[in-house]
Amino acid sequence: MRTGRRTLAVAALAGALALSMLNAPAAQAADTGITVSDIVVNDGKPIVVGTSKEVEPSLSFDITLPSGYSTDDPGRYEAYPFIYRGSLRTATDTGENFIGPGSYTCYEESSKKASCEGNLYIDPHPSQEHVDSNSDATTWKVAVALRLFKASGDLKAEEYETRSKTVQLKRAAKATVNASPEPVTKGKKITVTGKLTRANWSTKKYGAYSGRTVSLQFREKGADSFRTVKKATTSSTGALKTTVTASTDGSFRWVYYGNTTTGRATSKADYIDVR
């Protein structure tokens, strides 16, 4: 459990956060003096997104405030990381190719420092435009949004700072499996089929993923782990098919290990009774 007094809790959709900045009164684009450090997105792992389910990758970061500001008064400042691709100016001016926090909470470490944790918010729904093109499956850059407010509540200064960190967004993949006949006589052939598909962010549907090498794995009855017994390549329709010799009871599954644009996919296990 986190220690330290909670000083700021934000619970809002990324789009609302972006709009709050886009619609704010004009302010001096100058150094706010706020430092955002130790940014970690999704524990450093790629973010995999499908066609309909909202994704909330973990987010953590630290804030250090400038002179004249205190964590006791969180309404006087705003600071959070976001990810973007393409032009930073376009992302912050229009919200296009911009993904911000869904919610986060900051905990006071001292009067000048706070430690924050929460999540980014990615909604593949067409209305959100978070991932509306397959070209979004690429490397996104990390930046921070910083704002200072006057005692009156008016915006004093705001800025956007880029970071050297990057985050990989990937299209989700799915795999299916079927082993037959069931049951099967020992020494006879088992035909294992399946299909590999991946998310199409343009159509919001899963489509065939052809030309991919997929591993067929087997786990004997009573064993703790699967082992790869064969590999196959998906057809133009994403179909998988191979044969193996029946030797003992156990389960088969297909595993695709992913690539730079597509996440890993593991089918459910199909149990075969060998007699």
Q: Return the ∠ at Cα 87 (arms to 150 and 201), rounded to 5°.
A: 110
Beta bridge partners of 20: none
Q: Return the ∠ at Cα 65 (arms to 59 and 66), rounded to 5°.
A: 150
Q: Name the least confident of 24-38, 122-136, 189-203.
A: 24-38
Are 122 and 57 in contact by the 8 Å Cβ rule? The answer is yes
- Residue 171's pLDDT band, with cuts at 50, 70 and 90, is very high
Where do the DSSP E strands lie in 87-212?
A: 98-99, 101-108, 113-120, 139-149, 155-171, 173-180, 189-200, 205-208
Q: Which two tokens stand for residue 87?
A: 């032009």
Chain centroid to CA 238: 24
Which tens digit of pLDDT belongs to each residue from 54-65? 999 999 999 999
Predicted confidence (pLDDT) at residue 186 exceeds the cutoff of 60: yes
Confidence at residue 129, expressed as pLDDT on a 0 to 100 scale: 85
Q: Which two tokens stand for residue 236?
A: 């133009």
CATH fold match for the domains 6-170 and 173-272: no
Give residue for tokens 């070209």: 135
Domain boundaries of the chain, sorted by first residue:
6-170, 173-272
Confidence at residue 8, expressed as pLDDT on a 0 to 100 scale: 60
H/E stretch holding 245: strand 239-245
Which tens digit of pLDDT belongs to each residue from 59-108? 999 999 999 999 999 999 999 999 999 999 999 999 999 999 999 999 99
Confidence at residue 128, expressed as pLDDT on a 0 to 100 scale: 87
Report field, pTM of the whole predicted structure over 0.75: yes
Q: Return the ∠ at Cα 101 (arms to 95 and 106), rounded to 5°.
A: 140
- Domain 173-272 fold is Immunoglobulin-like (2.60.40)
Residues in the chain: 275
State the amino acid at position 106 in one-letter form: C
Q: Helix, strand, coil: what percent of the chain each, to 5?
A: 10, 50, 40
Does residue 66 have a cis peptide bond before it, meaning omega lies within 30 degrees of 0? no
So what's the architecture of 6-170 in CATH? Distorted Sandwich (2.70)
Are 63 and 114 in contact by the 8 Å Cβ rule? The answer is yes
Predicted confidence (pLDDT) at residue 22 exceeds the cutoff of 90: no
Are 85 and 133 in contact by the 8 Å Cβ rule? The answer is no
How far, in Å, CA of 83 to CA of 211, rounded? 31
